[in-house]
Chain A
Amino acid sequence: MSAFKDVGHLFRFAGIFVALFVIFLIVRVYVVPKSFGEYGHYRGNAITDIAANPIKYAGHEACETCHVDVQDVKKNGKHAHVNCEACHGPLARHADDPSSMTPVKPDTATLCVRCHAASAARPKTFPQVNAEEHSTGLPCQTCHQPHNPAIAAGGTK
């Protein structure tokens, strides 16, 4: 029995342990964000933080609200389903405030070959040209209207 005669020390240790644990619980309440665990083991507000990031591509619906004339040219052509910003680049700033920036017209000599340069790796049915043979390197819009490129369709400039 003599081994347990100083058991009072253990109660003191246990008391300190419990006190520290209570302090930990109190600190935890204040340090862990409110939204932690809202949907799972993560900060729920991270979802809204990420959703609040600014957009750079306005989306073709935004373009079409003003540029109806381009839409009319495009809609019957081969490029009807190519969105505006696929060629013109990200223009959300222009869509928000048209006067804040004027988009630069893409250079067709370098733009069109991104998709249409001949390569056996591309799907066979996709229209491809060897720019040197096809036009001796002239800008494509010398002959083609990029918004409706087929020449037979009256798309020439």
Chain B
Amino acid sequence: MKITRRQMLILLPAAAVAWEHVLAGTPESSPNYKLSDHWWSMLIDVPKCIGCGNCVRACQAENDVPDGYFRTWVERYHVSDENMTNPVVISPNGGKDGFPPVAKEDEGKYFFVPKLCNHCADSPCTQVCPVGATFVTPDGVVLVDPKYCLGCAYCVQACPYGCRYIHPQKEVADKCTLCYHRITKGLTTACCEACPTGARQLVDLKNPNDPIHEFLRTHAVQVLKPQMATGAKVFYNELDGSVR
């Protein structure tokens, strides 16, 4: 096949335009959503959690999380009167199938602590990524770009909360996205949608009408491992001192 100079001059710009299109990627999916208008996080109302595991099941269904891996999970703490600082923590299958019942005569106190990515403002996991595959979005969600991730697992080690894993099939880092595909469309997260007691609530700190502002003023709220200075944004109401 021979290409004349004239044909070449037509083909080259056409190829350039096609390549531009490849680079541009997918178009904007939520045109009315403005990144700078939101700062997402979550509130966990510990006394309301009944350990049903609905959130874990919902998360796995919504996000196709492989069996045995968890973007969110529920831990049950048992703190005995004699040893307040060494709780016995169980999380059978992440709490997905519920917890074994406890008879009344058992000693000590019990409570459930749902865990998920804390979507830290100063997240250690994004700082260690060597290829720019994980990042904090302008609206405050820590995400992983599966096209850039090499699966080196530095971030898995860096997360002080154990919230990341290497996806066994995709072989890239995977984690809670705070249901980014839902919250940008005006829905709440799958775990919050499925929680029957309202123990989990999606929070937008940049929304002045969000009830979180009043809640934070009037309740004893903590984040996990504040000494790590991660800027964790998942707020725990009435969190017991034995939770680490």
Contact = CB atoms under 8 A, between A and B. Distances in A.
Contacts of A122: 50-51, 110
Interface in A78-96: 79, 81-83, 85-87, 89-90
Interface residues of A, number: 44
A114 B197 CA distance: 13
B81 to A, nearest CB: 15
B148 A46 contact: yes
Interface in B82-119: 98-99, 101-104, 106, 110-112
Given A39-B138, A48-B29, A57 B62 contact: yes
B220 interface: no
Interface of B: 19-20, 23-30, 33, 35, 47-54, 58, 61-63, 76, 78, 98-99, 101-104, 106, 110-112, 132-138, 143, 145, 147-148, 177, 180-182, 184-185, 187-188, 190, 193-198
Given A34-B25, A43-B147, A53-B180, 18 more contacts: A34-B20, A36-B132, A39-B137, A42-B135, A46-B145, A48-B29, A49-B26, A51-B185, A53-B181, A55-B181, A85-B58, A89-B61, A90-B58, A119-B99, A119-B101, A121-B76, A121-B102, A126-B50
27 contacts: A34-B24, A42-B145, A43-B132, A45-B24, A48-B28, A48-B29, A50-B181, A51-B30, A51-B181, A52-B29, A53-B63, A55-B62, A55-B181, A56-B190, A59-B182, A59-B187, A82-B196, A85-B194, A86-B54, A86-B195, A119-B101, A119-B102, A120-B104, A121-B78, A121-B101, A121-B111, A123-B47
